[in-house]
Amino acid sequence: MDRRALSTLAIATAKEVFELLRDDLVAIEQELGRDAASGVSTITEIAEYLRGGGGKRIRPSLLLLSAHTLGYSGQSAIRLGAVVEMVHTATLVHDDIIDGADTRRGRPSANTTWGNEKCVLAGDWLYMQAFKVALEEKSLRVLDLLIGLTQQMVEGELLQIQKLGRAVSEAEYYDLIYRKTACLFSVSMRLGAVLADASEAQETSLAAYGRAVGLAFQIVDDVLDLTATEEVLGKPVASDLREGKATLSVIHSIDHGTAADRRTIQRVMNDRSFENVSREKIQAILARNGSVEYAMNVADRYAEQSRQALASLPDSEYKHALLWVPDFVVAREK
């Protein structure tokens, strides 16, 4: 099946998945609305603006599917679904400040409206609010997972800053995207398993699923940054490379292209702009080396790995939904 047909099928199935979780997701939105309220109006305004940004809510959805697959449903899943979304949102705010981003999902990024100083503090507040809500679970295991997750994500961002402007190895890239993205997917699955009082084997399987889906998600995200249009993407095309970040397609062309290809790519990473080398020239290099196709094949492999991780879990409509998520992740267009 070609990617366009898969995309149509995956989107249709995604609607079914979100329909399956509709009531829970509505409850999570209500929880997020309550959690966004602060006595300081600026924090409430920024938190509400971020909540209305059109996120896919994929991380809370994974937590819900993980819990439901093992037979749990209840208020704790709603609460922790809101927690993982708040952690995710806090990282986006800080990422946009670090990257100097002007747009996010087709809207002005929060930092362009409120400024870096207020947004750093709003991101900090969101992290702490997430932990405050998580504390209601009275579970050291939940807090331990969230603390470890936050440390991994911060370390990932710092490692990325250290590596800006230089070619990294594939192994370094996978480590970076695990910390920055896949770790949150994995922990979302673990939290659902913890709520369901899962066995160690079940929790390990669900965590492995989350890791593989998260890696596929970020690889596709990085490919879309290079190949999608600005209208669809909601931000400038190839902004990763302009910021000095070498993602998988670029790493592939550096490793397998000509010396001239390497010099051209490095020029953009050094300049932090497309003034001397056009985006189109970079896209032509990637096409000639089959680099985008290579990255998408790796994403497909992780998608398949995630499905295999669920083999031992009991059959249910929620497990079927989890089996479809990797297709939705790989086939998405933004």
**332 falls within a domain:** no
Query: pTM of the predicted model, to two decimals?
Result: 0.93
The structure tokens listed for 290 are: 């089959």
**328 falls within a domain:** no
Sign of CA dihedral 71, 73, 77, 81: positive
Using pLDDT thresholds of 50, 70 and 90, give the confidence band for residue 145.
Answer: very high
In the predicted model, what is the mean pLDDT of residues 120-149? Answer: 97
Report the CATH number that the domain containing residue 287 is assigned in CATH. Answer: 1.10.600.10
**331 falls within a domain:** no
The structure tokens listed for 110 are: 């929060």
**329 falls within a domain:** no
Task: Please report the DSSP string for 220-288 in residue order.
Answer: HHHHHHHHS-HHHHSS-TTHHHHTT---HHHHHHHHHS-HHHHHHHHHHHHHTSSSSS-HHHHHHHHHH
**pLDDT tens-digit readout, 248-301:** 999 999 999 999 999 999 999 999 999 999 999 999 999 999 999 999 999 999
**334 falls within a domain:** no
Domain count, the chain: 1
**333 falls within a domain:** no
Share of the chain above pLDDT 70, in %: 94
End-to-end CA distance of the chain: 20
Q: What is the mean pLDDT of the chain?
A: 92
**pLDDT tens-digit readout, 210-252:** 999 999 999 999 999 999 877 776 667 788 999 999 999 999 9
Q: What angle do CA 225, 226, 232 make, to 5 degrees?
A: 55
**pLDDT tens-digit readout, 84-121:** 999 999 999 998 899 888 888 778 899 999 999 999 99
**170 falls within a domain:** yes
Range of the domain at 129: 3-320
**219 falls within a domain:** yes
